[in-house]
Amino acid sequence: MAAAELSLKARALRLLSQREHSRLELGRKLARYAQEGDDVEALLDLLEQNRWLSQERFSEALIHRRSARYGNGRIVAELQSHGIRGEELDRLKQGLASDETARCVEVWQRKFGSVAEDVQQRNKQMRFLLQRGFSQRAVQTALKGSEHFEE
């Protein structure tokens, strides 16, 4: 016997109970299950009105999950892909910028732990950090080694 079909609102609440979602992401997931007469946008508005869906909480959760491993560029790109724009994005960028160098040094320390001995190793370390989305300035500081870093 098949399980009873969940309503769109029940699906949304189940998804939100597992983790925070952006409005765009939740809308995409719910659109797959929407039937004729279902208004996904109205449901999303209701969820936001009741504070079950929050772009601010989603953004903070994403930053918290990603900041220990990735740089500002990568985190900001992911936020934008989830529909975070405008003043909210600018505010989040400012918050991220304050500790990017420290996070970059920490990632470098975990991955490599010692200053590169030759150009080939230095380039490898630089590529790794740049691919993680760290700024050029943060990477340059990290490549000097943790003993050269002052917060």
Predicted confidence (pLDDT) per residue in 123-132, tens digit: 999 999 999 9
Q: Give residue-wise pLDDT tens across range 73-92.
A: 999 999 999 999 999 999 99
Q: How far is CA 72 from CA 34, 68, 107, 120, 140, in A?
A: 35, 11, 13, 25, 15
Q: What is the mean pLDDT of residues 40-59?
A: 95
Provide the pLDDT for residue 148.
Answer: 54
pLDDT(2) > 50? no
The residue ranking higher by pLDDT, 121 or 37, is 121
Neighbours of 75 (CB within 10 A): 24
